[in-house]
Chain A
Amino acid sequence: MISIFQNYGGELLTGLGQTLLCSIIALIFALIIGSAFAIMETMPNKFARVVARVYIEVFRNIPLLVITMFFYVVIPMYIVKISGFASGTVGLTLYSSAFIAETVRSGIQSVDPGQMEGARSTGLSYWQSMRYIILPQAFRYVIPPLGNQFINLVKNSSVLAFVAGFDLMYQANVIASDSLQSMSTYMCVGVLYLILTLPLSYYMRHLEKKLA
């Protein structure tokens, strides 16, 4: 295992960087898109609810790999040329955003409806009550399940390996076939994924204790 780190340190580091970059981009956008669809799903407007429902059901129920392959193969053929890294990151963002939307929705709905009524009766608009009264409480409720989604997202970024996105898993496949030491290579990569996910896991735990 040590020899893998010594001989392929550069490759592993590139892989770690690409995985981290993809995860951060996907995490930020998935959180924004997911929250937006969660709010739409709880809106009084029926049209908005239907649009959100369709989006969530489509991206939640198609395998991540299929979404990614669609962006890698079909989009460059007809629309615009995008690299493996970009298609993987877009696929991961859309896929994760559907799960995050469902998580955040459950948070919004677990806030007592009386809160909204109370806020509206003090003269706040619907958006103001959402922004200042409902959402802060909703996010606090859903920190633990949201943490799960974030960790899943980091691990799911290994889909980049399929579309030559130069991430950790891609480098692992390359190194394993080059060094012919599959077992120790995948062990190394497992440790590197732990290095990415464990701090995230601890941070979410810390956040949960601080806010709840």
Chain B
Amino acid sequence: MIVMVCVDNQNGMMFNHRRQSQDRGLRRRMCEIAGNDDGKFWMNAYSRKMFTDSDTEGTHAQLCVAEDFMKQAASGDFCLLETEDPADYAANLEELILFSWNRDYPADLHFTLDLSGWKQVETAEYAGSSHEKITETHYIR
């Protein structure tokens, strides 16, 4: 599976069970990435609630919702993981797409996956709808 994760400058992901931030432009970008491969785009209902029709319009992303989506997703499927540390699923990850907000937020859930065995293959920076700079970095094993 190909996992997408958003982090802040301290690798934080959530605070008090709430996402640190969101960005309409980034949601659109996620759907475009997932849609390019006609892949299923898995997430839980918490994440799904954030997506609107305009995020997916014109893309081929197939949004799939399940609470145990990290168990259901097959090889090549895309997953948006917001509420758990990807390190918990390290063995199942084929690729990681890390989106950095480049800002500081409060956090009590952090990204702790050890990337020392991963290879960075692509990186890009762009502005989101409310973020001056979002950094997108792709890692493969």
Whether chains A and B associate is: no
Q: Which B positions have Cβ atoms within 8 angstroms of A?
A: none
